[in-house]
Structure 1
Amino acid sequence: MSDPDDFQLRIRLGEMMLGPGKADLLDGIRQTGSISAAGRRMSMSYRRAWQLVEQLNLYFGAPVVATLTGGRGGGGAELTALGEDILSTYRRIQQHSAATIADDLAHLRDLRK
């Protein structure tokens, strides 16, 4: 679990929010090859993980995750090129933002009593 004082970037894109939860879910899907495993890592139900993926699909108008049908070898999931692009762009914005406001964030933390 992250430190509650860590900077967290949330971007409103129309009616959809893109923030650390969706980014971490996409990253988990990339790492595990599974929507359910990525959700479990975040203490999130499979249904909720799918809802977040669907929100992204609807907003961007194309799949962000490609799923593989189950069977003897099991199913799976992987990020599409769009999903990879969304994740890398969000992480880049997150890094730039954190670096830009680091001094001001430190100042706000210092003001805490």
Structure 2
Amino acid sequence: MKKEIRVRCWIDLDGEKFFGPGRAELLELIQESGSIAQAARQMGMSYKKAWAMVDEMNTRGRKPFVITQKGGQQGGYAEVTETGRKVVAAYQKMNKRLQAVVDKNKDLLKLL
């Protein structure tokens, strides 16, 4: 029997999920690729869903997380803002701390 302790953390705003592992990954992939569509493909989700996630973060957050520029000769692009980068970094730091707590308490599994 495989036993493990898993922790997933979400940030709620007004009682609704706002930011979590999926959105952190989406922002990381947008930053790497410069494209919401490409980030969505890499995550196996539709562009529509990825855009809705970005739009919600931009609308409900204090400041936009992603800025976009529509097509043209150079094509469109998406860029994660400083706010978005800071949120991802803080979220990753928090998750590392949570994982350290979990790792220190693995003795609990022996009781199961």
Per the shorter chain, which TM-score range? 0.7 to 0.9
Output the TM-score relative to the length of structure 1: 0.82
| Cα pair distance change 1:49/1:5, threshold 3 Å | farther
Q: Report the CA distance between 1:110 and its aligned residue.
A: 4.8
Counterpart residue identity of residue 92, structure 1 = K
Q: Distance between the aligned counterparts of 2:8 and 2:67, measured in 1?
A: 27
Larger Rg: 2
Q: What secondary structure is seen at the aligned counterpart in 1 of 2:79?
A: strand
Q: Which deviations, in whole Å up to 9, do the C-alpha atoms of 1:25-58 show, x marking residues without a partner?
A: 0000011110010011000111100111112112
1:30 is matched with 31
Counterpart residue identity of residue 12, structure 1 = D
Asked if the contact 2:10/2:21 (under 8 Å) is kept, the reply is: yes
Q: What secondary structure is seen at the aligned counterpart in 2 of 1:92?
A: helix
| Cα pair distance change 1:74/1:94, threshold 3 Å | same
Aligned residues: 108
Q: Distance between the aligned counterparts of 1:29 and 1:5, measured in 2?
A: 30
Unaligned runs of 5+ in 1: none
Q: Distance between the aligned counterparts of 2:80 and 2:30, measured in 1?
A: 7
2:11 is matched with 11
Output the TM-score relative to the length of structure 2: 0.82
Q: Distance between the aligned counterparts of 2:44 and 2:83, measured in 1?
A: 25
| Cα pair distance change 1:47/1:99, threshold 3 Å | same
Q: What secondary structure is seen at the aligned counterpart in 1 of 2:8?
A: coil
Root-mean-square deviation (CA, aligned residues, Å) is 2.1
Unaligned runs of 5+ in 2: none
Asked if the contact 2:70/2:77 (under 8 Å) is kept, the reply is: yes
2:83 is matched with 82
Q: Distance between the aligned counterparts of 1:5 and 1:73, measured in 2?
A: 47
Q: Distance between the aligned counterparts of 2:107 and 2:35, measured in 1?
A: 40
| Cα pair distance change 1:21/1:5, threshold 3 Å | farther
